[in-house]
Amino acid sequence: MKQVSVIISTYTADVSGVCSALYELGGMVVIHDPSGCNSTYNTHDEPRWYDQDSLVFISGLSEIDAIMGNDEKFIDDIVRAAKDLSPRFIALVRTPVPMMIGTDFEAIRDIIAQETGLPVFYFATNGMHSYVQGAGMALEAVARSMVAEPPERTVELADASLSRPPRRKINLLGVTPLDFSINGTLSSMRAFFEAHDCEIISTFAMGSSPEEIARAGEAEVNVVVSSVGLPAAKTLREQFGTPYVVGMPMEPFADELLACLEEARRDGVCRAAYHEEDAGQDNPSAARQSVRTEASAAAPVYLIGEAVISQSLARAVSESYGCRTKVLCPLETEKELLEEGLCLSVDSEEEIAEILADAAGIIADPMYEPICPEGVPFYPLPHEAFSGRIYRKQIPDLTDVRFLARWMEENGLSEGRFSRTEMLVGEEGMRRLREARVAVFGVGGVGGYVVEALARSGVGAFDLIDNDRVNRSNLNRQIIATEATIGRKKVEVMRERILSINPDASVTMHPCFYLPEKADEFDFSSYSYVVDAIDTVTAKIDIIMQAQKAGVPVISCMGAGNKLDPSRFEVTDIYKTSVCPLAKVMRRELKKRGVKKLKVVYSREEAIKTGSRTPGSIAFVPSVAGLTAAGEVVKDLLTGVGECAGSKGANRPEELRCQEGANRPQEP
């Protein structure tokens, strides 16, 4: 009775595991049962049921047939359906009732195979084991029976004349919706490996055709991404000598998985990437492992779930955030998948509750929460095979490069991207910054630092207006200028910087030189704030006029060239400036147009006479001007200035608004 669950759910049974593994392979799956097993499968365990056709049937075993042993009806129904539907194969799935009455499935299998001429599989499931065993035996049968002998393998050596090494051929084994749901995880996994020079031959058995499965023997390495894939990996090892590695690609643990994959390709040795002794020695994460902090004395954060995914996630959490992690695996799992000291095999609700008593935190499906100790932080991570469709919409894409950081932040397991800023400005302040849309005209010396500071402050949306490209002469002062970016459009480089700081930001690029006649191409009313960081007078004046006409706050940057003293910058009204030649011209022109006031950043330092028409510059002057302007923008946004003006445009999609112009702006 110890294995009886009184409070928590149970995992998907082996019957559904077989059906899930074979769902997309063109066969006909027949569950020999009165009716319950199929309804459980299609309503709770199969998210593809309504969107993707598959031949999954129930025999409708009646009480009298069960008592009298009427196997002829079962056989005749299957043979007739097979002739009508022409499946690639037939799979017979046992349930508790035929197990108890001793149905001779081997004999039935042989008769059906003889009468149909089709491959027929029998799976000795009984509803008492988990999906890991059922799906595992199904994928093992697929590997043994449906994979063709590959052409003679030749080792591809790197050609020195090529810019990149040959792509590594791999299979992904153990992919079913029971572990990965239907939420983009498979696409992310494929994209990850393809981006790291891998050619994916097939995925067992979601997202691949039977023809792709047949080519699985061509792979150089098999990647086991869940426990379900291990039996197939062993079979392919036995048949073709293909080594396998075990692990899920989750940043930063993915580095170790890739290193293990390459080592297995070279030496043919199978390994689990989350095992300490197997972790690749020629990758950055190996160093992190050797210096992993002795948080081992601290209470651990426990993860509960499937062994491969949970141990991969545990390593990723540990390496990213330095906390001690342990895994509890309540599923039947082969010992080679369990890392000693990291993963404990558990088999009862009572045992899980006892172990969790010393937890610092718990990461598990929400249905585990009722047996978790009070006062211990619980972090929900739904698992399709445990809670079915209940939390399906909350299941994350585990392979998304941003998943771990975002999930840890949302659940309070780590400091967030802007958590230190939030300490100063509060939750409401962060909301205002996040919802703001700021237009920055000119993203060079001064404007580049404005954008940088606003992005790091949490501003949610940007319009970047600049027609220039990064030049070698920009290297001394512009934050976007490096040897690698010379020749590239400044708005493109700046956009990349913003998204590398905050991937959730919205960035609209305008690779053009702002001219008064182009004003109607810009919706000034959609901006929360406008920053003028160019020094072409006609453009500056029109930007200011358009912003004030739209009721949008604007700050204008005066000259930063030919100056050496960053301490002389200040924020003031344009009519209180002195010394600056650009400010003098602006005062005159704005006065003509009836502008009463304008907030500006300017320097009280007299310009140094260099004898050159091109102004001299140095790194610490335009940067201070830009940071000063950004500080003023943030302060105004926090007090609600510009909140109404730009709210409607805060989250517009990225777009390329106007074509590259012929003229180039001169930037401070």
Residue 41 structural domain: 14-129
Indicate if 175 and 110 belong to the same structural domain.
Answer: no
Is 5 among the domain residues? Answer: no
Q: What is the average per-residue pLDDT within 390-409?
A: 80
How far apart (Å, rounded) are the C-alpha atoms in residues 349 and 428?
42
Tell me, what CATH number does 401's domain have? 3.40.50.720
The pLDDT score that the predictor gives to residue 31 is: 94
CA 470 to chain centre: 31
Is 143 among the domain residues? Answer: no
Indicate if 251 and 330 belong to the same structural domain.
Answer: no
The pLDDT score that the predictor gives to residue 277 is: 61
CB environment 479-517: b (16+ within 10 A), e (fewer): bbbeeebeeebbbbbbbebbeebbeebbbbbbbbbbeee
Indicate if 354 and 297 belong to the same structural domain.
Answer: yes
Residue pLDDT, tens place only, 80-129: 999 999 999 999 999 999 999 899 999 999 999 999 999 999 999 999 99
Query: Locate tokens 């150089």: which residue?
Result: 220
Indicate if 215 and 319 belong to the same structural domain.
Answer: no
CB contact at 8 A, 228 and 136: yes
Is 537 among the domain residues? Answer: yes
Per-chain mean pLDDT for the chain? 88
Is 155 among the domain residues? Answer: no
- Parallel, antiparallel, or unpaired for β 271-272 and 244-246? parallel
Paired residues of 530 in beta bridges: 439, 554
Lowest mean pLDDT among 41-50, 116-125, 462-471, 547-556: 41-50
How far apart (Å, rounded) are the C-alpha atoms in residues 583 and 444?
19
Residue pLDDT, tens place only, 431-444: 999 999 999 999 99
Indicate if 120 and 33 belong to the same structural domain.
Answer: yes
Q: What is the average per-residue pLDDT within 49-71?
A: 88
Helical segments of 216-348, H only: 230-240, 254-267, 284-290, 307-321
Is 453 among the domain residues? Answer: yes
Indicate if 576 and 600 belong to the same structural domain.
Answer: yes
Number of domains observed in the structure of the chain: 4
In the chain, the N- to C-terminal Cα span, in Å, equals 78
Is 154 among the domain residues? Answer: no
Indicate if 315 and 229 belong to the same structural domain.
Answer: no
The pLDDT score that the predictor gives to residue 659 is: 33
Residue pLDDT, tens place only, 176-203: 999 999 988 999 999 999 999 999 999 9
The pLDDT score that the predictor gives to residue 289 is: 38
CB contact at 8 A, 578 and 605: no
Residue 165 confidence class, pLDDT cut points 50, 70, 90: low
pLDDT at 264 over 60: yes
Tell me, what CATH number does 237's domain have? 3.40.50.1980
Collapsed DSSP state (helix, strand, coil) of residue 416: coil
Helix (H) or strand (E) holding 82: helix 71-85
- Read off the pTM: 0.67
Collapsed DSSP state (helix, strand, coil) of residue 528: coil
Tell me which amino acid residue 528 is: S
Q: What is the average per-residue pLDDT within 215-229?
A: 97
